[in-house]
Structure 1
Amino acid sequence: MLMMERVKLDKSKVQGRFIYHFFKRALDIVASACALIILFIPGMVLAFLIRHEDHGPSFYSQERIGKDGKPFKMYKFRSMIVNADQLVDQLEAQNEINGAMFKIKDDPRVTKIGHTIRKYSLDELPQLWNVLIGDMSLVGPRPPLPSEVEEYTDYDFQRLSVTPGCTGLWQVTKRNDANFDEMVELDLDYINHSGFWYDLEIIFKTIGVMIHPNGAY
């Protein structure tokens, strides 16, 4: 098996791009605000369908780790049974991804409607609120769980040097076909080469992935 070449993160370059960060934040605010308004009624319909299936809550919140290790509460449409978090330990042996991440292709915790909204990434739409208030960006590394960060090496911690995103290079390329190490490499490659037009390219590719899913589960 070939070893992936490790990406070296240029932190001074990442932190010093003030004009890019200004326009990136402006895009986040305008795009997330517009999307929340446009998707309000469809979102309420989806929320009703989720609640109607098993009478549980429509929305789900979970603590995630953001930029520089700062914790925040991330929002999603609920796609799993109500007590899904309590069943992780029982399913650990079925984890299909090596490293500090937990994923099962045929996860028994996912509800019927959950399979559909996860396939088309509709469960992620409430994160537009996280983008609007500044916890997340439209584009960036996915925010990890605290338990995942506990397993991070110093190299892995580099992906926490920027604001996490709703989508990123990992999601529009390999997505769930990537293992943890490949995800880290893709995230660091994005951070090193990030730019306003690159972000727009990833956003448009994300829309395409939502229409034609590339391995989501």
Structure 2
Amino acid sequence: MIRKEILKELRTYIDEFQIVEKRKVEQPTRHFITVDQYRILLQDGNTLYRDKVVKQGSSGNAVVILPITKENNVLLVIQPRVFTENGVGVELPAGYVELGESIEEASKRELLEETGYLAKNYIPLGSYYQDQGCMSAKNHSVLALDAEKVSVQQLDDSEYIRYLECTYEEALELIDMGYINDANSIITLEKSKKLIRRRKNEI
């Protein structure tokens, strides 16, 4: 059973990021997301027309990090996700892989920026397409072990993030309760189960 104080802290952060107003802003040009159109000829002679979503003008690949602290707890982040039903996301730290970065380098940077933590060991858990119907971008799941606080958060001006520490079992329970409901976090938590159980048996 998840601890009452964890739920209380989580709900405080969720309340903090509740939407007061949302309206569409007309812009003549869009810089973050663009759509490229393709004509594809198949071996059997059929022709397809498809739209490809491009983020930031690059691959759009991202890392999704499951940080496990030295105390064997999980770090979750809470931030505005304004197009979701609740307007707030409870999820694992994540972010885009910058040009020239390795998966581990991107994981270190994003974890530090969003939480102020760094881990001693970064273990790749596999990758998956974000949306293979309209994108080539992949998400890379990473397990970050023995994470510890080394600085304050290093957020961009447009980022508003709180972080929460809970047990691994509590994180799984938050999925069942509907607090964690993004595919990236759920997939990464599921991918990590065998390694987490093995780690607990070794402690």
TM range (shorter): under 0.3
> Larger % of helix: which?
1
TM-score by length of 2: 0.28
> Larger % of strand: which?
2
Select the structure of larger CA radius of gyration. 2
TM-score by length of 1: 0.27
